[in-house]
Structure 1
Amino acid sequence: MSARVRLEIAAGSLASALAAQAGGADRVELCENLGEGGCTPSYGTLAVARDRLRIPLHVLIRPRGGDFLYGSEEIEVMLRDVEHCARLGCDGVVIGALEANGAVDLPTCAALREAAGGMALTFHRAIDVCNDPLVALEAAIGLGCSRVLTSGGADTALAGAPRIAAMVAHAAGRIHVMAGAGVDASNVAELLDVSHAHEVHASAGATRRSAMSYRATLAGLVPDWRQTDESRVRALCAALAQHAMRTG
């Protein structure tokens, strides 16, 4: 029987990270502001998550939404965030930066790698908006990244599965290719059949309704929120186990 593909959950809060762990996820990517693709979580969130999680904790290093072209002040912030993660004993950091022409910003990424010390490195979805994904994949390998997160340059990983398959073939075992974006229990088997991805990444989110009885809804101040749902994580784990049995 082949091994089950590993599941990483993009957790946008401490509660989401704990739900990911309870649901059987293999790893958490801790972040915030998932609506803009994710940013670095607060120090308090990191510290409590490190205390409470027994599964590997990786942290997204991204100072804002938008593009991946960073100025000197933003780079300084990212370096400080990586140093915080190292001091807290996090298992890995998730990095990425691009030049204005869409190439990987090697000096910035190398500085982040240096700051990371012995922590594992993931190159994030900046690879999906770079000018040449296979060249960027080689850059991630050269930087010493353990994995790269990608949707294959498409809106969803399933839509980008053929390109993910090309990346897996190009990687030739030198780096793990992790498929993410729109992944859930209903489509993960098809995604793996086409992409041959080594790992998958999902938020497994559901809407949580606010307990407020007085509900004033304004633009940007909607009381309900999205949070990782333990049952959705369990469903993904079950789908991955079934896929492993079928393909073993």
Structure 2
Amino acid sequence: MSKRAVLEVIALGVEDAVAAQAGGADRLELVTDMAADGLTPSAATVAGIRAAVGIDLRVMLRPADGFAAGDPEDVERLVRVAGELREAGADQFVLGFLGADGEPDLAAVERIVGALGGCRWTFHRAIDRAADRDALRKQLADLPGLDTYLTAGAAEGVDEGLPTLLAEAARQGEPGYEQTILVGGGLRLDHVPALRRAGIDAFHIGGSARPHGWDRPVSAEAVAQWRAALDGESA
């Protein structure tokens, strides 16, 4: 029997968080503004969610749409925001920045990670826009706290990225491949069996937890359907 899969659900507020936990989510990714694919939420939102649920929270550090960190002043602003979020109860984060050439923006990532004090964090789907995924993994391998890559295997989503995900799963444990693969981005239930067979045990859903769209809250029933499917694949 393989180990229980981790189910991470995007939450925008307390109502989402409570429903996701009730449905069996293990962890939440906290964001705001999904029209921009998820930006940094307010410290007040994080504090409210932290008070409402007991499961792990990973808080997005992303100031604007796209994968650029901005200029040094923007990076320092994000460092200050990270400090405010930590004071509000955040102890896990999500971030990822690329330069215009598709290479990781190491200066920005290292500056922000240095301000997180060893907190665990996910490098998000910026990896799916990277010029060289393998090189990016090796460049980031020794950053403190990095334990997860959120990826669909391709910018277009899991349908296109599945071969890459399976190939990377086969390399788990190699230098640059020690981190958990958290699959998200166009993920459907019918992708799960092949991913589980490959040893992938972490899954991330957003729209799938909201059958009535992003202007309606997370559905505990939709999350429970995913939980049951993942648990069934674990048996």
Q: Report if TM-score (shorter chain) is over 0.5.
A: yes
Superposed displacement of residue 41, structure 1: 0.8
More displaced stretch, 67-76 vs 87-96:
67-76
- CA, structure 1 residues 135+13, in 2 after alignment: closer, same or farther (shift >3 Å)? same
Let me know the Cα RMSD of the aligned residues: 1.9
Superposed displacement of residue 180, structure 1: 0.4
* Matched residue SS, 1:206: coil
The alignment-based identity, stated in percent, is 32
Asked if the contact 1:91/1:119 (under 8 Å) is kept, the reply is: yes
Superposed displacement of residue 91, structure 1: 2.8
Superposed displacement of residue 7, structure 1: 0.7
Aligned match of 1:71: 71
Residues 172-211 of structure 1 aligned to structure 2 (within 5 Å): 172=173, 174-193=178-197, 196-203=199-206, 204-207=209-212
Aligned match of 1:122: 122
Aligned match of 1:219: none
More displaced stretch, 160-169 vs 92-101:
160-169
Asked if the contact 1:3/1:244 (under 8 Å) is kept, the reply is: yes
- CA, structure 1 residues 57+139, in 2 after alignment: closer, same or farther (shift >3 Å)? same
* Structure 2 unaligned blocks of 5 or more: none
Superposed displacement of residue 66, structure 1: 2.4
Superposed displacement of residue 62, structure 1: 0.3
- Measured against aligned partners, the alpha-carbon deviations of 1:97-154 in whole angstroms (never above 9, x if no partner) come to 1122111111111111111113211101111111001111223322131101001014
Asked if the contact 2:36/2:65 (under 8 Å) is kept, the reply is: yes
User: 2: distance between equivalents of 1:93 and 1:10?
Assistant: 13
* Structure 1 unaligned blocks of 5 or more: 209-223
Amino acid at match of 2:148: R
Asked if the contact 1:30/1:57 (under 8 Å) is kept, the reply is: yes
User: 1: distance between equivalents of 2:113 and 2:91?
Assistant: 13
Aligned match of 2:14: 14
Residues 1-248 of structure 1 aligned to structure 2 (within 5 Å): 1-144=1-144, 145-172=146-173, 174-193=178-197, 196-203=199-206, 204-207=209-212, 225-245=215-235
- CA, structure 1 residues 85+139, in 2 after alignment: closer, same or farther (shift >3 Å)? farther
More displaced stretch, 64-73 vs 147-156:
64-73
Amino acid at match of 1:147: T
* Matched residue SS, 2:150: strand
Asked if the contact 1:123/1:140 (under 8 Å) is kept, the reply is: no
Amino acid at match of 1:240: L
Aligned match of 1:215: none
User: 2: distance between equivalents of 1:198 and 1:12?
Assistant: 24
User: 1: distance between equivalents of 2:222 and 2:210?
Assistant: 7
Superposed displacement of residue 240, structure 1: 0.3
Asked if the contact 1:134/1:167 (under 8 Å) is kept, the reply is: no
- CA, structure 1 residues 237+226, in 2 after alignment: closer, same or farther (shift >3 Å)? same
Superposed displacement of residue 37, structure 1: 1.4
Q: How many residues align?
A: 229
- Measured against aligned partners, the alpha-carbon deviations of 1:46-83 in whole angstroms (never above 9, x if no partner) come to 11011112001110100111232422232122212211
User: 2: distance between equivalents of 1:51 and 1:126?
Assistant: 30
User: 1: distance between equivalents of 2:170 and 2:149?
Assistant: 14
TM-score by length of 2: 0.90
User: 2: distance between equivalents of 1:82 and 1:185?
Assistant: 34
